[in-house]
């Protein structure tokens, strides 16, 4: 059994030091959720699959900012909710990627290593 650092529990210490494999799993889960949100956005606004995920998110953000009056309030509210959810999930992915970067390239998901080359 490991001794806890002064002022913390063993569980706290284990949560601080994340293993690359655990981070990869968290990233994969968050990335899957992020993709599902983009799919919901595409379906809601009938966005074709041609634009990539970032372009689809930019489209919905721009669409919401233009404030088209012909859009039903409930549709606009749902679009705003989906955009907020996507942004939250995206930030989680960014935070996990930052932690993986801190741990070094060996800890990064393969898909992210390929994008950086």
Predicted confidence (pLDDT) per residue in 92-103, tens digit: 999 999 988 888
DSSP class of residue 6?
T
What is residue 46's predicted lDDT score, i.e. its pLDDT?
84
What is the rounded distance in angstroms from the CA atom of residue 61 to the CA atom of residue 75? Answer: 14
The pLDDT tens digits of the residues spanning 54-89 come to 888 888 888 778 766 566 778 888 888 998 999 999
What is residue 69's predicted lDDT score, i.e. its pLDDT?
59
What is the rounded distance in angstroms from the CA atom of residue 43 to the CA atom of residue 33? Answer: 15
What is residue 117's predicted lDDT score, i.e. its pLDDT?
42
Q: What is the DSSP string of 53-104?
A: HHHHHHHHHHHHHHT-TTS-HHHHHHHHHHHHHHHHHHHHHHHHHHHHHHH-
What is the rounded distance in angstroms from the CA atom of residue 43 to the CA atom of residue 41? Answer: 5
pTM of this structure: 0.63
Nearest to 23 by CA among 90, 117, 92, 85: 92
The pLDDT tens digits of the residues spanning 104-116 come to 754 445 455 445 4
């Amino acid at each position: 059994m490991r001794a806890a650092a002064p002022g913390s529990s063993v569980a706290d210490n284990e949560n601080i030091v994340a293993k690359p494999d655990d981070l990869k799993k968290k990233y994969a889960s968050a990335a899957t959720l992020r993709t599902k949100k983009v799919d919901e956005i595409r379906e809601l606004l009938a966005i074709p699959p041609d634009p990539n995920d970032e372009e689809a998110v930019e489209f919905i953000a721009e669409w919401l900012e233009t404030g088209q009056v012909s859009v039903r309030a409930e549709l606009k509210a749902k679009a705003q909710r989906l955009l907020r959810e996507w942004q939250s999930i995206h930030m989680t992915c960014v935070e996990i990627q930052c932690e993986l970067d801190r741990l070094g390239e060996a800890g990064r998901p393969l898909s992210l290593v390929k994008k950086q080359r």
